[in-house]
Structures are given as C-alpha cells and as structure tokens.
C-alpha cells in the first residue's frame, strides 16, 4: 500500500542506480491484475507497477470514478471523483519515487479506458512528472485537468494513443479528437487505430512497446 492505494510491482532484473517506472492504470470495473499481465513482456530495466483504483464496483471490480446513468441511459462521469483520483495518482507516484530507486525523469504511464482518461489528466496537468503516456481506448476530458493546464511546458512529454475501430464502449470518434488536441499543445504524439473492440490488439501491444523503448 502507498497512499492507501494497493498495487503490484515487478522489480527490474537488471539492477542500476536509478530505473524507469512504468505505471499501469486499469479501466472501469477491472483491477490491478488486469494490465499487470503486460509486465513480463515489458522492460526488464523498469519498475512496473500496477495500481488498484480507489472506488469499488460490485461485485469485485474497481474504478477511478463513478459512471452514472440517467433515465434515458445517458452516461455521466463523476468529474469530482476523477479529479480526486488524478491527485491520488500524483501522490502515489511521489511515494513510489521515495520508496524505490526510480529516475524521476523516466516516469511513464500506460492507461486503459478509464485509466487512459486519467493518464491524460495526470500527464497534461503535471507534465514535469511524466515522460511518456500510452493511452489505450480512452479519450481526453478537459473537465478533469487543472484549470490552467494549457500554460504548462509540454516539451519533454510524448503520447501514444490508440483505439479499436469497433469499440462498443467508448466511440472511436471521441478518441479521434486526440491528435488535434495534442498538436495544438505542440505535444509529440502518435494515434493508431486497430481492428478490435474495447481491448488491446496484439499489434497495438507491439507498437506501444516500440514507443516505450525508443
């Protein structure tokens, strides 16, 4: 437990003075085990940490924020909970930096779905803390960023965003807005689409690994 968030960690097999961090943020209704299945395939020089979101979703999942439905089945995100989770993730990263020999200039995020939405929020609110972001099957929600985020310095950060062309959970149209938003902020980014639903295509995984390694 760090900052009251439960997590799993795979330590690097190649020992150095300082290591990169790859932080995995799961999606709504899932848990820390989900993306941790990526860990054996990722860098053996990095600390790979998969963290459990703070809110419970019955019967046995977790979420970064609630998603509510109205009478017409329209979805509403609880932006206040999302902002709280954004800050929890930032404090969690700070706690990991104090606990493990992690290079503070080599902190990377991989988020899926709700975890991708939070990855955008953390990285664009605090770009000095994050190096690379992999945003899988998510979208950009400006309402959960710090108010003056556009004034931040984004020179050192880069994004790899991807989406399934037949995603039935988050419409691909939402994700397709991402490159334009990031380009306006002059952020280095790549956006790829894959023939898959709300999930990670094998080619997508290969491409995200290439992005993290280069």
- What is the model's pLDDT at position 2? 55
Q: Which domains does the chain have, with CATH numbers?
A: 7-213 (3.40.50.1820)
DSSP state letter for 185:
T
Task: Profile the chain (214 residues) by mean pLDDT over runs of 10 residues.
Answer: 83 95 97 96 96 93 86 76 97 97 98 97 98 97 96 97 95 95 97 96 95 94
Query: Kind and range of the H or E element at 104?
Result: strand 102-112
Q: Tokens 């902002």, residue?
A: 83
pLDDT at 79: 94
Query: What pLDDT, on a 0 to 100 scale, did the predictor assign at position 105?
Result: 98
Looking at residue 59, its pLDDT comes to 86
pTM of the shown model: 0.95
Residue 58: per-residue pLDDT: 87
What is the model's pLDDT at position 4? 81
d(CA 162, CA 160): 7
Question: What pLDDT does residue 73 have?
Answer: 59
């Amino acid at each position: 437990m760090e900052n009251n968030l439960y997590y799993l960690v795979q330590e690097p097999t190649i020992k150095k003075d300082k290591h990169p961090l790859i932080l995995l943020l799961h999606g709504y209704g899932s848990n820390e085990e989900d993306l941790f299945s990526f860990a054996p395939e990722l860098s053996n020089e990095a600390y790979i940490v998969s963290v459990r979101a703070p809110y419970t979703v019955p019967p046995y999942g977790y979420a970064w924020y609630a998603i509510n439905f109205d009478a017409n089945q329209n979805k509403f995100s609880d932006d206040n909970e999302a902002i709280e989770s954004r800050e929890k993730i930032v404090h969690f990263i700070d706690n990991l930096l104090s606990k493990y020999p992690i290079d503070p200039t080599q902190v990377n995020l991989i988020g899926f779905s709700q975890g991708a939405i939070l990855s955008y929020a953390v990285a664009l609110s605090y770009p000095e803390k994050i190096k690379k972001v992999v945003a899988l099957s998510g979208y950009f929600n400006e309402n959960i960023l710090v108010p003056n985020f556009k004034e931040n310095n984004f020179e050192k950060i880069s994004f790899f965003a991807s989406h399934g062309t037949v995603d039935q959970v988050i419409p691909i149209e939402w994700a397709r807005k991402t490159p334009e938003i990031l380009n306006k902020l002059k952020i280095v980014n790549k956006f790829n689409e894959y023939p898959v639903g709300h999930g990670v295509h094998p080619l997508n995984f290969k491409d995200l690994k290439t992005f993290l390694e280069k």
